[in-house]
């Protein structure tokens, strides 16, 4: 008889939660769909399960538990402290309320979350960026590291670790810093043609890794590069 850990489909709810918390990245991803199928049992254990995670972190296991409840048992979120309005802590050094962003990500309203992220970046860049409607690359270095970290944490936590600036930076590093290879990798360019916004982007968990959040590339790569190299994000890569 072959030895080894049993497949996720054969595990009970406690074992699934343990593997989601402590398993390897591959085991966690394999556990995700099995845990969703056990959503009723999860709804009864979610409060205790979330105690194993940090509200100051970005572990997508916690985010996925919350998203499963939102998908199948939204009433169960009411029993979780801060669950309906956002379980993760979202500190800001710029007095920005990230509750709407967290709620959009929790509900997997990714297009709305992307717009809220762009809005937050303009606020972090200053009044002139808000007025003109976009950010200059030169306005990125003074942005508060705490806020960029908060935004990135939320994207990572509510995407099974697939989206976020730090994910994009990691992919770019794996491609030797070559943006021309990054664009098709994250689905922003196909056969040399830029993906049309917003209709041709994939606003779902099935999108390519690193697909979101979006950064306007019409003015070249300097804005994206400034963001990914910001100390508040570089430390997370």
* Spans of all domains in the chain: 8-79, 99-234
* Tokens encoding 219: 């003015």
Alpha carbons 17 and 155: distance in angstroms, whole number: 21
pLDDT tens-place string over residues 58-99: 999 999 999 999 999 999 999 898 877 789 999 999 999 999
So what's the pLDDT on residue 150?
Answer: 98
Q: Are 223 and 137 in contact (CB under 8 A)?
A: yes
Instruction: Round to whole Å and give the CA distance between 25 and 161.
Output: 10
pLDDT interval class at 10 (50, 70, 90) = confident
Tokens of 54: 């940090």
CB 137 within 8 A of CB 226: yes
Residue-level pLDDT at 217: 72
Give CA separation, 156 vs 29, 66, 116, 173, in Å: 14, 14, 15, 18
The residue to which tokens 């670790």 are assigned = 161
Closest-CA residue to 91 (of 144, 26, 42):
144
- Please write the tens of the pLDDT for every residue from 185-208: 999 999 999 999 999 999 999 999
pLDDT grade, residue 3 (50/70/90)? very low
99-234, CATH topology level: Arc Repressor Mutant, subunit A (1.10.10)
**What pLDDT is recorded for position 5?**
58
C-beta atoms surrounding 206 within 10 Å:
8
The residue among 229, 231, 232 whose CA lies nearest residue 169 is 229
First to last CA, the chain: 42
**Cβ atoms within 10 Å of 108's Cβ, excluding its own:** 16
Q: Which residue has the higher pLDDT, 4 or 44?
A: 44
Average pLDDT, the chain: 94
Nearest partner of 113 among 100, 129, 130, 96, judged by Cα:
100
């Amino acid at each position: 008889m072959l030895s080894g850990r049993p497949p996720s489909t054969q595990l009970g709810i406690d074992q699934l939660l343990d593997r989601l918390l402590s398993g390897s990245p591959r085991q966690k991803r394999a556990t995700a769909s099995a845990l969703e199928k056990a959503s009723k049992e999860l709804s009864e254990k979610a409060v205790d399960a979330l105690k194993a995670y940090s509200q100051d972190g970005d572990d997508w296991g916690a985010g996925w538990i919350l998203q499963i409840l939102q998908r199948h048992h939204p009433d169960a979120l009411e029993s979780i402290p801060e669950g309906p309005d956002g379980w993760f802590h979202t500190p800001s050094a710029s007095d920005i309320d990230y509750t709407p962003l967290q709620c959009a990500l929790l509900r997997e309203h990714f297009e709305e979350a992307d717009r809220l992220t762009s809005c937050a970046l303009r606020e972090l860049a200053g009044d002139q960026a808000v007025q003109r409607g976009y950010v200059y690359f030169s306005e990125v270095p003074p942005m508060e590291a705490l806020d960029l970290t908060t935004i990135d944490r939320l994207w990572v936590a509510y995407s099974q670790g697939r989206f976020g600036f730090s994910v994009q930076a990691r992919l770019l590093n794996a491609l030797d810093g070559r943006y021309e290879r990054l664009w098709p990798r994250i689905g922003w360019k196909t056969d040399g043609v830029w993906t049309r916004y917003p209709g041709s982007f994939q606003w779902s968990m099935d999108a390519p890794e690193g697909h979101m959040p979006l950064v306007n590339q019409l003015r070249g790569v300097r804005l994206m590069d400034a963001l990914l190299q910001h100390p508040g994000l570089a430390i997370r890569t």
